[in-house]
Amino acid sequence: MNQLLKNVLTLAAVVSVSVVSAQKKSATPVYLNEDAPIEQRVEDALERMTLDEKVAFIHAQSKFSAPGVPRLGIPEVWCTDSSHGIREECAWDKWSGAEWTNDACTAFPGLVCLAASWDPELASRYGVAIGEEARYRNKTVLLGPGLNIYRTPLCGRNHEYMGEDPYLVSTLAVPYIKGVQSNGVATCAKHFALNNQEQRRHSTDVEISDRALYEIYLPAFKAATVDAGSWSIMGAYMKYKGEYCCHNQYLLDDILKGEWGWDGVVISDWGGVHDTHQAIHHGLDLEFGTWTDGLSQGKANAYDAYHLADTLKTLVKAGKVSEDVLDEKVRRVLRMVFRTTMSKDRPYGSFVSPEHSAAAREIAQGGIVLLKNENKVLPMRPAEVKKLLVVGDVATASMMKSGSSTTLKAKYEILPLDGIKAAYPNAEITYMRGYEVDKRKAEPLKDVVEAAREADAVIVFAGLYYKGGQDAEGVDRKSMELPYGQDKVIEALCGVNPNYAVVMVSGTGVAMPWKDKVPAIVQGWHCGSEAGTALASVLTGEVNPSGKLPYTYYASLDQCGAHVLGDYPGDKNHHQVYRDDIFVGYRFIDREGIKPNFPFGHGLSYTTFEYSNVRINRTKGNANSKWVVSVDVTNTGDVDGKEIVQLYVAAPKGKLNARAVKELKGYNKVALKAGETRTVEIPMDFSSLAYFDEAMHDWNVLAGEYKALIGASSQDIRGEVAFEVK
């Protein structure tokens, strides 16, 4: 008998035995019963898997996929980068594209723009839309959202995150995650935890107090896993307590799976796994991206060399690792598969639809922030502008390609200049590059200044590109200054034309040495496919801006605690102490009495709002007593607008060392017609008053007099009311 026939008969015998065994176990396998409880399906499938199948199930088979169990009909797990859209299909074992012709997506605004909207409804809409695109492409896991805290303005990935305040990030992460997962696609909240810089991210060991960890850096992840139920989470590159975060006993076993009781999958960041023992025993469930490049490694399958691959199998066979340890990892991945690709309730999704374009546009419009508007330079209404000068390479530069996880192949991209041309159809529009970028030549500066004198209005588009050392993964910025001499161009135009506005296209704060000389400044973010349309709608007044800053806009690094206290980016041994502790962003600004360029929560409107009659009422009747803080808000201008009313809480003075002056504990975005008054209510409970007590290793509330502060920003407090906690 030839060898081929022997192999066929052997395979048939294995399948026959398997089927008979399955039939003895149950006529219809429970794991295939879509109506059965997920935990029953998980245990049934687990019992049917061989050791080889279990091991293969928990590590990658390609750059972005892990194998399922073909024998049992359990599909592969497919992941996609998703910073602000669904990444193009990659080649099997490369970062480069697979050159498909049908994978060009909708590009949504960066998550920092969503954060600037302070709008949970928009967050839900964002999640649903990007989840529909991921589902249409049949992805199991969407690698996001990014929830790391904005600790330094130099961090290269600030544009992927949602600002400096854990409360704000948490309230937006929950609806976003629920929106994505309503499509049967798992979110993978990242990067857990302490990945607050790109510089030395693969080697820095962070030292931090438990209080700062629990109060600042963990709340958004707890909201993502406990409140929103994210079905997976991604470990960070950094180290904590000497262990890499992708296999970190304290973070993953003690906190995430222990204290929080979370039942999802811990996925490694690509290249984030370094130690076999820790990978097996310290919380990692699914290994991706351990630096191999497939067949060129000289193995039949280089992925078998992963920490959770052949090495683990050998240890289990030798009795050195209990199969129970392996089974727990498999359970978690199975649970995610049954929640996603094997769920009968999974919808079909949609891709690059008109609804997604509308969502991208409205998210951008909701997040654009009017930072400054002297003499009502903005809006520049089309009927009043006959001759318009647009300056800046940013106005014509695509923001899709970055060479990192933010790289997109967008179906279309409306650039700022295109949006301006469409919004001012009757104006004579002159475009001048202003500064040279990548050998794209610029006009002499004197010619730009002369053109500005002759125009009715001038708009300069400036900012950062999706490039290394700017808004991009892998490396932090070297300074807060704008690249390519943009500041020189902006300065040269100051005082030349009174109708002068600067639009900052960036995902993080920049130095603005010209801030006091420019009459109007807009923070325009990276707004995706609909960038040009969204920006133009705000500049023309078609849309009244309503965004507010989700981070402190520092004038210089000397105003940022991470830099003032001298611990960024760490010492020569790549050890970094977070000496700023809980004093991140406005907490440090408040403590030091600093006036930044623009404070956390700041954002103007084309109308004005008056606050009055701040009061507080307590809801009685249970141990979890709640308060409701109320304020009357009036639109005192002549156009409709939206205001974000912010609630901060100030703790009793002198009761606890190192307590922030105040902390954001609530907000409400309210739409008001011109002249309208509405009562805005913001609820509050004991968690709003709590601090993390390191001695108790638990949350604690001190007795004493607290203050509820109502403001239009962290430094624009409009009213306050005191209340006692006994």
CA 410 – CA 454 distance, rounded (Å) = 37
Domain boundary among 501, 518, 551: 551
Strands 239-240 and 691-693: unpaired
| 470 within a domain of the structure (yes/no) | yes
- Per-residue model confidence (pLDDT) at position 623: 53
The answer to whether the CB of 81 falls within 8 A of the CB of 95 is no
Instruction: Answer whether residue 279 shows pLDDT above 80.
Output: yes
H or E, element range at 117: helix 111-117
DSSP code string of 447-471: HHHHHHHHSSEEEEEEE--SSTTSS
Task: Please tell me whether residues 541 and 618 are part of one structural domain.
Answer: no
- The CATH number given to whatever domain includes residue 634 is 2.60.40.10
CA distances to 17, 32, 552 from 20, in Å: 5, 16, 65
Task: Provide mean pLDDT across the span 423-443.
Answer: 96
Give the pair of three-digit tokens for residue 47: 């019992």
- Per-residue model confidence (pLDDT) at position 683: 96
Task: Please tell me whether residues 532 and 386 are part of one structural domain.
Answer: yes
| Peptide bond preceding 193 in cis form (omega within 30 of 0) | yes
pLDDT band at 567 (very low <50, low <70, confident <90, very high): confident
Rg (CA), the chain: 27
Instruction: Answer whether residue 22 shows pLDDT above 80.
Output: no
The single-letter DSSP state of residue 358 is H
- The CATH number given to whatever domain includes residue 507 is 3.40.50.1700
Mean pLDDT check: name the lowest of 37-41, 295-299, 331-335: 295-299
Task: Please tell me whether residues 509 and 373 are part of one structural domain.
Answer: yes
Q: Determine how many CB atoms are found less than 10 A away from the CB of residue 163.
A: 25
Instruction: Answer whether residue 620 shows pLDDT above 70.
Output: no
Give the pair of three-digit tokens for residue 483: 């690249």
Task: Provide mean pLDDT across the span 351-359.
Answer: 98
Give the pair of three-digit tokens for residue 277: 């023992």
| 447 within a domain of the structure (yes/no) | yes
CA distances to 402, 486, 500, 534, 591 from 503, in Å: 21, 12, 10, 12, 31
List of residues 6+ apart from 22 with CB closer than 8 A: 29, 48
Task: Please tell me whether residues 515 and 637 are part of one structural domain.
Answer: no
| 3-state secondary structure at position 98 | coil
Domain boundary among 551, 569, 596: 551
Residue 136: closest CA among 346, 336, 408, 334: 346
Task: Please tell me whether residues 416 and 515 are part of one structural domain.
Answer: yes
| 97 within a domain of the structure (yes/no) | no
pLDDT band at 311 (very low <50, low <70, confident <90, very high): very high
Task: Please tell me whether residues 535 and 389 are part of one structural domain.
Answer: yes
Task: Please tell me whether residues 510 and 438 are part of one structural domain.
Answer: yes
Task: Please tell me whether residues 539 and 626 are part of one structural domain.
Answer: no
CA 304 – CA 300 distance, rounded (Å) = 9
Instruction: Answer whether residue 622 shows pLDDT above 70.
Output: no
Give the pair of three-digit tokens for residue 658: 């190192």
Task: Please tell me whether residues 518 and 661 are part of one structural domain.
Answer: no
pLDDT digits over 132-155, tens only? 999 999 999 999 999 999 999 999
- Per-residue model confidence (pLDDT) at position 407: 86
| 9 within a domain of the structure (yes/no) | no
Give the pair of three-digit tokens for residue 724: 């006692």
Percent of the chain with pLDDT over 70: 94
| Average of per-residue pLDDT values in the chain | 94
The domain containing residue 682 runs over which residues? 609-725
CA 435 – CA 394 distance, rounded (Å) = 10
List of residues 6+ apart from 1 with CB closer than 8 A: none
pLDDT digits over 334-351, tens only? 999 999 999 999 999 999
| 404 within a domain of the structure (yes/no) | yes
Examine the residue annotation and report whether 269 is marked as an active-site residue of this protein: yes
| Peptide bond preceding 379 in cis form (omega within 30 of 0) | yes
Task: Please tell me whether residues 618 and 469 are part of one structural domain.
Answer: no
User: Could you report how far apart the first and last alpha carbons of the chain are, in Å?
Assistant: 88
- Per-residue model confidence (pLDDT) at position 308: 97
Percent of the chain with pLDDT over 90: 89
From the candidates 81, 119, 165, 269, which is the catalytic residue? Answer: 269
- Per-residue model confidence (pLDDT) at position 16: 39
Q: How many domains does one find in the chain? A: 2
| 248 within a domain of the structure (yes/no) | no
Task: Please tell me whether residues 515 and 618 are part of one structural domain.
Answer: no
Give the pair of three-digit tokens for residue 648: 């901060």
The answer to whether the CB of 49 falls within 8 A of the CB of 68 is no
pLDDT band at 654 (very low <50, low <70, confident <90, very high): confident
Domain boundary among 551, 577, 592: 551
H or E, element range at 114: helix 111-117
Q: Determine how many CB atoms are found less than 10 A away from the CB of residue 226.
A: 15
- Per-residue model confidence (pLDDT) at position 624: 60
Q: Which residues partner with 710 through β-bridges?
A: 647, 719
- Per-residue model confidence (pLDDT) at position 94: 85
More confident: 294 or 600: 600
Amino acid occupying residue 397? A
pLDDT band at 707 (very low <50, low <70, confident <90, very high): very high
pLDDT digits over 44-88, tens only? 999 999 999 999 999 999 999 999 999 999 999 999 999 899 999
Task: Please tell me whether residues 614 and 547 are part of one structural domain.
Answer: no
| 633 within a domain of the structure (yes/no) | yes
| 688 within a domain of the structure (yes/no) | yes
